[in-house]
Amino acid sequence: MLPQQFDWLRLSDGTRLRSACWTGHGTIRGTVLLATGRAEFIEKYAETASALVERGFQVVAFDWRNQGLSDRPLANPQIHHLNDFSTLADDLDQVHAQAVVPRAGDRPVLLMAHSMGGMAATLLLARRPDRYAAAVLSAPMYDIATAPLPRSAVRVLARLFCRMGRGERYAFGQHDYDPAEGEFRPDNSITSDPGRYAAFHTPFRERPELRVGGVSFGWVRAALRASDLVQNTLPLAQVKTPVLLLSAPGDRVVKAAAHWAVARRMPAMTVLDYPDAKHELLMERDAIRDRVWADIDAFLARTVPAPVPAAAR
């Protein structure tokens, strides 16, 4: 299902973001602000948005700065660069104000976010501890996998190259998107479902303007700083929003152990493990995805119950 409406948002620093909205028919249960992961784009989440619409929600999604069709400031638009993850929290806050508030009315607003989007969502939850009725976080990027190098070495290298004025350059081992990555391999780190794997890579093949490569030294430094913040000092105990965190213990993209470290600091958070899942829990094969959605449904039934039809009152 394609979004009914695409739009453009202009942020306070002049950056332009592409946004989209899906809306169903009948009584609207609430509005979901959907934050994608790194290098992703709105269209990849059509299936997830459709599942939410079937459950009575309208959905607002957007392309983060530096990816999708939103603004990319570097000469090489494939380098994913960022100086501070607070910028993403700022952006999410502004998307809420510009694209969600005008649509939500007095109905509940929820956050759903994946990976990098989950990190930004958590930073925003600390700022707005009681704004959202609920939040669902899929494999949030509370710590990045740095193998084969130890985290401490990656931190030192990222700091060094940023101080040398090379923060906007690809970090070691990073490069432009390789079309060979579009071939599904069972040992990939994303999903065991070939069709859902293609939902990401087919658009990259057909629409080169969507492609994003690896990350910059600046992005790595920013990610590690944000990781330290959420695991150690961010005031998460004040968050009132009920949070469901979906985690894959064998995740090779983010460190699942960090999910439990953050949960210990956030009483409002519940972590559920899916031992047979890879990083993309919302886009896994049906045997896993169906369990994920059953757990999401149970969580939403408690936090954002469907309105009772007038005839049944």
154, two tokens? 């990656």
Mean per-residue pLDDT pooled into runs of 10, the chain (313 residues)? 82 98 91 98 96 96 98 97 98 98 96 98 98 98 95 96 98 96 96 97 96 98 98 97 98 98 97 98 98 98 81 53
255, two tokens? 């460190």
Q: Which candidate, 107, 109, 116, places its Cα nearest to that of 95?
A: 109
Partners of residue 61 on adjacent β-strands = 20, 34
C-beta of residue 66 within 8 angstroms of C-beta of residue 72: yes
Q: 243 Cβ partners below 8 Å, 6+ apart?
A: 125, 134, 135, 136, 137, 266, 268, 269, 270
pLDDT at residue 1, rounded to an integer: 58
- The total of structural domains in the chain comes to 1
User: How many Å apart are CA 66 and CA 34, to the nearest integer?
Assistant: 17
- CATH number of the domain that 10 lies in? 3.40.50.1820
pLDDT at residue 47, rounded to an integer: 96
pLDDT at residue 43, rounded to an integer: 95
Structural domain containing residue 128: 5-312
Virtual CA dihedral for 153, 155, 157, 158, nearest 10 degrees? 160
